[in-house]
């Protein structure tokens, strides 16, 4: 069976989320990690996982469908790290320590994380217990399809280079049930596989194999290298 092209799959999932009325604000669903009906229920399933319930530090994506999960993590006492958009600053993560936050609902939103959090460089971060990512689609063998910009994988690679994550660090995503697909999708060498998928109705544990051991320098063009300050200290 031939592999499905990532862009073809993205377009199909975005179209279905829209046509079936499953997408939620912000609109349109296309071109983003789409918010979906049942995101709060998927977040509850994720919080039932020991990998998150017992986590002291979690790196999480900034997108809307994972906002309920980021809020739950903070309210459970977990420190959440969110990347600065496009890793555009030397202090490329924002630390949200629940003990120092005055508003646990506003702090993990992409529009307010800088107001409440503390910018940190990777050497100042602790080991990360789990990673939460957003997805456009996930295959049942753990291949994640994002929105196509590659920053989620690069954030993982930076953390890996600094020894803050390893093969045993679980990568968890929350998606709608229709975003879990049975087909085959070819993964690139720098793609980070998913270990656990939580939907509003199901928790899926995957045997996704090893993860990238660092930055795939060959996949970075000169423009991206120059735009991401943290890469200078790693090259």
- The band of 4, judged by pLDDT with boundaries at 50, 70 and 90, is confident
User: Domain residues of the chain, as ranges?
Assistant: 6-233
Residues 69-95: tens digit of each pLDDT: 999 999 999 999 999 999 999 999 999
Segment 45-50 shows an average pLDDT of 98
Q: What is the pLDDT of residue 139?
A: 96
Segment 99-110 shows an average pLDDT of 97
Which of these, 149, 145, 120, 121, lies nearest to 135 by C-alpha position?
145
6-233 falls under which CATH superfamily? NagB/RpiA/CoA transferase-like (3.40.50.10420)
8 A C-beta contact, residue 62 and residue 26: no
Residue 193 is classified by DSSP as P
Residue 136 is classified by DSSP as S
pTM value is: 0.96
2 or 78, higher pLDDT? 78
Q: Is the pLDDT of residue 235 over 80?
A: no
């Amino acid at each position: 069976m031939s592999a499905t092209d990532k862009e073809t799959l993205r377009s199909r999932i975005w179209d279905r989320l829209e046509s079936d009325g499953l997408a939620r604000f912000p609109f349109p669903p296309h071109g983003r990690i789409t918010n979906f009906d049942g995101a709060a229920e998927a977040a509850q399933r994720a919080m039932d996982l020991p990998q998150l319930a017992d986590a002291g530090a979690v790196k999480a994506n900034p997108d809307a469908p994972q906002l309920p999960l980021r809020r739950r993590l903070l309210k459970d006492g977990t420190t959440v790290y969110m990347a600065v958009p496009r890793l555009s600053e030397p202090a490329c993560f924002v630390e949200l320590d629940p003990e120092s936050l005055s508003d646990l609902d506003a702090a993990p939103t992409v529009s307010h994380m800088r107001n409440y959090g503390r910018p940190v460089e990777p050497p100042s971060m602790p080991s990360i217990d789990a990673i939460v990512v957003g997805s456009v689609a996930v295959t049942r063998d753990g291949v994640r399809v994002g929105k196509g910009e590659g920053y989620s994988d690069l954030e993982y690679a930076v953390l890996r280079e600094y020894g803050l994550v390893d093969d045993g660090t679980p990568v968890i995503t929350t998606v709608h049930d229709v975003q879990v697909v049975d087909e085959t999708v070819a993964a690139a060498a720098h793609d980070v596989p998913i270990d656990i998928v939580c939907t509003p109705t199901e928790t899926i544990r995957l045997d996704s194999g090893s993860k990238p051991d660092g930055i795939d320098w060959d996949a970075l063009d000169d423009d991206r290298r120059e735009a991401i300050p943290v890469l200078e200290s790693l090259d």
